[in-house]
Structure 1
Amino acid sequence: MSVLIVIPARYASTRYPAKPLVPLTGADGVPKTLIRRSWEAALSVSGADRVVVATDDDRIRAEAEGFGAEVVMTSPDCANGTERCAEALDRIGGDYEMVVNLQGDAPLTPAWFIEDLVAGLRAHPWAELATPVLRCEGAMLASLREDRAQGRVGGTTAVFGALNRGIYFSKEVIPFTAGTYAPHDPTPVFHHVGVYAYRPEILRAYPNWPVGPLEGLEGLEQLRFLENARAVLCVEVEARGRQFWELNNPSDVPKIERMMAEMGIS
């Protein structure tokens, strides 16, 4: 019943080159790189048996090994984090119950998001992978809308149906909602948290499927599962007062640093 956490990290991001090495200053005024903060977030997860950084870049490798992380080198040809996790699993080997993809651009991911995700996949044998969704409050929905209005790719939203089975994920804000919401009001929009828990057999199958039209349009790796009729479980998680945001654009750095200061995260 072992759980492997893989943190995929690449240097040559189209939208934000060198993103894993971007420093983020916490509440104590000490800067740490994004990849280090992601690794520390993974170490705080209860029930994780092993944490590795999967990268194709020696600069990221040097940084990660410098703060004590285990690193698995993977091919520069991996198209996304899921493919990188699949290659890392092949290189590591072992009989893991599930593999968690903690993407390296989400340093504010609370440990209980991942713990709830693992528990959700264990509780639903029909699901082949699981991913967390967080109901937006008015302030988060306003931030998502502002990013789109300014032409920025911000967070991803998710819609799901019966049994919380995933229907679609988009970089647009879906479903459509009219009007505005007060900052702390719940909304019908769910923010997709970029973490995945895969059963090993579905993770190994993923790189063999071609990129479908929806994945090509949206640039979202999880759509490849839906386009191949695979069962994706959306696990609703609770913020518990924590703010959450992913580092997608340079403009997100001060936003995340402000959130860390407000929450006292060093």
Structure 2
Amino acid sequence: MSVLIAIPARYASTRYPGKPLVPLTGAKGESMTLIERSWRAARSVSGVDRVVVATDDERIRDVSEGFGAEVVMTSENCQNGTERCAEAHAVLGGGYEIIVNLQGDAPLTPHWFVEDLVSGLRAAPDAGVATPVLRCDGSALNSLLNDRKHGRVGGTTAVFGRDHSAMYFSKEVVPFTSQTYTGDESTPVFHHVGVYAYRPDALAAYPGWPAGPLEQLEGLEQLRFMENGRKVLCVEVEARGRQFWELNNPQDVPKIEEMMAAMGLE
């Protein structure tokens, strides 16, 4: 089954303009842009036929081609990464059986997150889209709560049913829990990992739907599938000792660099 990874990247981010070109320094002092680190993460995934950067910005195109990435230029009118992936797949002529959206702000995404995601979608023929979720330990949950306490829109959380069909995604921390957790204690909160795997028919349908009220309120693109009656499969992934965080705000840069140093990631 052929697999395409598209890395949607735009310069004009509302919360962090120019984010794909922000440098991140690894454990050995080597600095690379966020987009290059995300591309390297994509290239480490097994069973993938093609990796492309999808952008509408010449600066991102030039930097990406400079480190060897294949770039697909897309429209400035794409409202989010899913729309950009849909356009990139069409520009490439289609034909891929699974399209993975590895968003360009998640350089710490381990290869097995994506591999498990693709396997999960393959095993669920009734799902048109799947996305990974990672159970928070106490430290991760407290980081999410701290972001909200200080008015920062940070990571996204997910709730899902017994069959792992998504019930809701939110930038608030859901579900609510009154218990205090610390360190590596297991919590009932799942951190949504910003990666998606789509079947081509679901991806092609997406740009034709208007953004619904929940998507607009939360600013979460995956809610459009749910608001249009499409099942979103949540695939639980394991950290295996790896720390995970996404680069959403400037304050996340030192946090991610600290994680990279702690894990010895170059």
Output aligned runs, 1:15-34, within 5 Å: 15-34=15-34
Deviation at 1:162, TM superposition (A): 2.3
SS in 2 for 1:242: coil
Matches of 1:250 and 1:232, distance apart in 2: 30
Matches of 1:162 and 1:127, distance apart in 2: 15
Matches of 1:188 and 1:140, distance apart in 2: 12
Output aligned runs, 1:152-231, within 5 Å: 152-231=152-231
For 1:71, the equivalent position in structure 2 comes to: 71
SS in 2 for 1:163: coil
Output aligned runs, 1:1-266, within 5 Å: 1-266=1-266
The amino acid of 1:125's aligned partner reads P
SS in 1 for 2:142: helix
Matches of 1:182 and 1:152, distance apart in 2: 21
Q: Percent identity?
A: 75
Deviation at 1:85, TM superposition (A): 0.2
The amino acid of 2:47's aligned partner reads G
Matches of 2:119 and 2:97, distance apart in 1: 12
Matches of 1:191 and 1:38, distance apart in 2: 19
SS in 2 for 1:29: coil
SS in 2 for 1:60: helix
Deviation at 1:94, TM superposition (A): 3.4
Matches of 1:171 and 1:225, distance apart in 2: 17
Normalised TM-score (structure 2): 0.99
Normalised TM-score (structure 1): 0.99
Measured against aligned partners, the alpha-carbon deviations of 1:9-62 in whole angstroms (never above 9, x if no partner) come to: 000001000000000000010100000000000000000100000000000000
Deviation at 1:163, TM superposition (A): 1.0
Measured against aligned partners, the alpha-carbon deviations of 1:185-234 in whole angstroms (never above 9, x if no partner) come to: 01000000000000001000000000100001000000000100101100
Deviation at 1:179, TM superposition (A): 2.4
Measured against aligned partners, the alpha-carbon deviations of 1:87-112 in whole angstroms (never above 9, x if no partner) come to: 00110013111100000000000000
SS in 2 for 1:162: coil
> Displaced runs of 4+ in structure 1, greater than 3 A?
none
Matches of 2:153 and 2:95, distance apart in 1: 37
The amino acid of 1:128's aligned partner reads G
- How many residue pairs get aligned? The number is 266
Measured against aligned partners, the alpha-carbon deviations of 1:124-170 in whole angstroms (never above 9, x if no partner) come to: 11111100000000000000000000000010000000210001000
